């Protein structure tokens, strides 16, 4: 069977733009060797394929034998990377610094030590200006090597100065390493588990932060130290659903880039992620005005060459921009309007399927399902929720749980009562196994089990009773997760008043605007 997701060479070719493909062919034909011509033949064959299918590839290209294919693919992969390397991106600081280091080594090997040191001096200034500590460390290491092997007489007290600079950079790098590890581990915890489910999770997170947050981090002034510190606090607050602190640390994260705008081009991915979390914080704090303003700002950023001419940035911006646009529809009760975004999202998910991880796709499916559910189209909601439920993945167990719960409620709305008893038991077992049952969820399962034996005429009082019970948990931090994933309160109010969920939410939104 064709497999378009596992062949690295196929993925690389499909990621190339027209100009990059043209550049590769010029690069590969520079010597016009027979092997190179076969490489181009293989390149063209893979470029034309919609899905990677090795059997079809060999069948249509008789001059390439099965024995040759592995070596040809390896050679082609290396040549594509080499051709991409010679297309210089003048704005890429990494490439600039790497090139300067290459020049310094060439001059050193020629015995031109003073010229090498001059290049290293310029490299040091660039590295400091853009907070590139690893390159700064390389510069200092190379300078120490030159001074230790040769008498350059470049300056007095040079040994002392190089030693001081090296110690300072190493200490800074050590702190950056500790904080980046902390940020990564907290983010990994969220990807695996979602929000904190109980006191045990909360205590585990508090203990982990206390044990791994370096004391010196609180006084950090460097760009990367502060970036990873704010990220760590951001994930910590988000997991605990302390949305005020989540917003404050996310705003600090974005402000860091606003204070040093030159770093947006160096750390574009982190800037995009920061804007995503800022929009997420406005959503969690139910602030549609600020969310709309930040979406507008992010959309302007999306039209910069930094995004449009970089595939990675373009994909990230798509994911976060449309996630936030859906969230704004949720806040304003415009579920039906939000459905107009779905065809474009589906088109982009197909276009970017080689690069998107399952976690991103599952989140989109859940949000699209919520749009359909809120607008009253439960059949479509079930369709998208089924895509999540049938995914065999250990990521985001919380998302899996709430997809099942919403799937159950959607079937309840559709009147599929013959399925409900089985689904209720199945979902209950799944959530209990995941250690995910909150008081809100327990009450919902009790209601669903009771409703089997209650006639349609007496359901309204049951809805009112459940609503009254659940309101007691609205301010409980450990119950926030249930309300964040599924607006149960609005659903119950819609059932009591006989309207769609979006009508209830839109009414609440209009009332907030008047205040």
Same domain, 24 and 81: yes
Q: Which whole number is the average pLDDT over 138-144?
A: 92
Burial of 371: CB neighbours in 10 Å, binned 0-12, 13-18, 19+: buried
| Cα gap 504→334, rounded to integer Å | 11
Question: Is the Cβ–Cβ distance between 247 and 447 less than 8 Å?
Answer: no
Q: Which of 197, 274, 264, 276 is nearest to 233 (CA)?
A: 274
Same domain, 122 and 145: yes
Three-state DSSP class for residue 155: coil
Predicted TM-score of the model (pTM): 0.79
Q: Which whole number is the average pLDDT over 181-207?
A: 87
Of the three residues 60, 85, 110, the one that is the final residue of a domain is: 85
Confidence of residue 484 (pLDDT cuts 50, 70, 90): low
Of the three residues 85, 113, 142, the one that is the final residue of a domain is: 85
Same domain, 111 and 75: no
- Token readout for 227 is 């970036």
- Token readout for 273 is 């992620």
- Token readout for 241 is 């659903």
Q: Which of 199-203, 371-375, 457-461 has the lowest mean pLDDT?
A: 457-461
pLDDT of the residue at 251: 97
Q: Is residue 324 part of a domain?
A: no
Same domain, 80 and 17: yes
Same domain, 58 and 75: yes
The mean pLDDT value of the chain amounts to 84
pLDDT of the residue at 434: 61
Same domain, 52 and 109: no
Question: Is the Cβ–Cβ distance between 242 and 233 less than 8 Å?
Answer: no
Same domain, 103 and 77: no
Burial of 1: CB neighbours in 10 Å, binned 0-12, 13-18, 19+: exposed
Whether residue 93 is predicted with pLDDT greater than 90 in this model: the reply is no
Q: Is residue 396 part of a domain?
A: no
| Cα gap 56→154, rounded to integer Å | 64
Q: Is residue 131 part of a domain?
A: yes
Same domain, 14 and 79: yes
Question: Is the Cβ–Cβ distance between 113 and 146 less than 8 Å?
Answer: yes
Q: Which of 99, 79, 85, 88 is nearest to 30 (CA)?
A: 79
Q: Is residue 49 part of a domain?
A: yes
| Cα gap 486→502, rounded to integer Å | 13
User: What's the total number of domains in the chain?
Assistant: 2
**Planar angle of CA 120, 123, 124, nearest 5 degrees:** 85
| Buried-exposed string 417-447: b where 16+ CB fall within 10 A, e elsewhere | eeebeebbeebbebbeebebbbebbebbbeb
Q: Which whole number is the average pLDDT over 6-14?
A: 85
Q: Is residue 98 part of a domain?
A: yes
Q: Which of 5-14, 41-50, 64-73, 277-286 has the lowest mean pLDDT?
A: 5-14
Cα distances (angstroms) measured from residue 369 to each of 255, 328, 403, 492 = 34, 15, 9, 18
| Cα gap 87→488, rounded to integer Å | 54
Q: Which of 427-436, 460-469, 480-489 has the lowest mean pLDDT?
A: 480-489
Q: Is residue 394 part of a domain?
A: no
pLDDT of the residue at 478: 59
Same domain, 23 and 78: yes
Residue matched to tokens 């404050």: 248
Three-state DSSP class for residue 473: coil
Whether residue 112 is predicted with pLDDT greater than 70 in this model: the reply is yes
Phi-psi region of 396 (alpha: psi -120 to 50; beta: other; left: phi over 0): left
Q: Is residue 429 part of a domain?
A: no
Question: Is the Cβ–Cβ distance between 117 and 150 less than 8 Å?
Answer: no
**Planar angle of CA 260, 241, 187, nearest 5 degrees:** 55
Same domain, 12 and 72: yes
Which positions ≥6 away from 234 have C-beta within 8 Å? 246, 249, 250, 253, 277
Q: Is residue 16 part of a domain?
A: yes
What is the residue range of 117's domain?
Answer: 93-153
Question: Is the Cβ–Cβ distance between 184 and 232 less than 8 Å?
Answer: no
Looking at the chain, the whole-number percentage of residues with pLDDT higher than 90 is: 37
Half-sphere exposure (Cβ direction) of 244: Cα atoms closer than 13 Å = 1
Same domain, 79 and 101: no
Same domain, 64 and 118: no
Name the residue with higher pLDDT: 134 or 151: 134
Name the residue with higher pLDDT: 259 or 193: 259
Of the three residues 33, 66, 85, the one that is the final residue of a domain is: 85
């Amino acid at each position: 069977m064709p497999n378009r997701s596992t062949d690295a060479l196929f993925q690389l070719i499909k990621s190339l733009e027209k100009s990059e493909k043209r550049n590769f062919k010029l690069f590969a034909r520079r010597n016009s060797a027979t092997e190179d011509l076969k490489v181009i033949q293989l390149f063209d064959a893979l470029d034309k394929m919609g899905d990677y299918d090795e059997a079809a590839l060999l069948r249509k290209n008789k001059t390439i034998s099965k024995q040759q294919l592995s070596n040809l693919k390896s050679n082609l992969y290396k040549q594509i990377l080499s051709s991409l390397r010679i297309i210089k991106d003048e704005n890429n600081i990494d490439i600039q610094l790497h090139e300067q280091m290459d020049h310094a080594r060439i001059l050193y090997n020629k015995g031109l030590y003073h010229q090498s040191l001059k290049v290293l001096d310029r490299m040091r200034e660039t590295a400091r200006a853009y907070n590139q500590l690893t390159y700064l460390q390389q510069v200092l290491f190379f300078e120490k090597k030159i001074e230790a092997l040769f008498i350059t007489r470049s300056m007095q007290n040079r040994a002392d100065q190089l030693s001081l600079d090296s110690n300072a950079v190493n200490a800074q790098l050590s702190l950056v390493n500790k904080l980046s590890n902390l940020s990564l581990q907290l983010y990994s915890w969220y990807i695996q588990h979602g929000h904190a489910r109980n006191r045990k999770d909360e205590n585990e997170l508090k203990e982990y932060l206390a044990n791994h947050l370096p004391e010196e981090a609180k006084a950090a002034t460097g760009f990367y130290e502060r970036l990873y510190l704010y990220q760590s606090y951001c994930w910590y607050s988000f997991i605990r659903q302390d949305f005020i602190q989540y917003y404050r640390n996310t705003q600090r994260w974005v402000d860091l880039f606003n204070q040093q705008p030159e770093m947006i081009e160096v750390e574009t991915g982190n800037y995009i992620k920061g804007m995503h979390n800022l929009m997420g914080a406005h959503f969690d704090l139910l602030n549609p005005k600020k969310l709309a303003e930040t979406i507008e700002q992010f959309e302007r950023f999306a039209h910069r060459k930094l995004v449009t001419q970089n595939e990675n940035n373009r994909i990230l911006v798509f994911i976060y921009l449309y996630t936030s646009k859906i969230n704004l529809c949720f806040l304003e009760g415009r579920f039906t309007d939000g459905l107009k975004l779905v065809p474009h999202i589906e088109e982009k998910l197909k276009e970017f399927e080689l690069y998107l991880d399952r976690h991103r796709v599952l989140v989109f499916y859940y949000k699209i399902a919520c749009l359909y559910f809120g607008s009253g189209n439960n059949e479509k909601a079930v369709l998208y929720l089924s895509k999540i439920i049938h995914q065999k993945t250990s990521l985001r167990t919380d998302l899996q749980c709430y997809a099942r719960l919403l799937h159950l409620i959607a079937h309840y709305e559709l009147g599929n009562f013959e399925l409900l008893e089985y689904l209720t038991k199945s979902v209950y077992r799944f959530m209990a196994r995941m250690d995910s049952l909150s008081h809100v969820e327990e009450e919902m399962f009790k209601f669903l089990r009771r409703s089997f034996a209650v006639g349609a005429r007496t359901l309204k009082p049951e809805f009112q009773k459940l609503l009254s019970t659940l309101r007691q948990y609205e301010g409980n931090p450990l119950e926030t997760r249930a309300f964040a994933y599924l607006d149960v309160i609005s659903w119950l109010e819609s059932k009591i008043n006989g309207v769609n969920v979006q009508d209830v939410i839109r009414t609440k939104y209009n009332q907030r605007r008047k205040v």
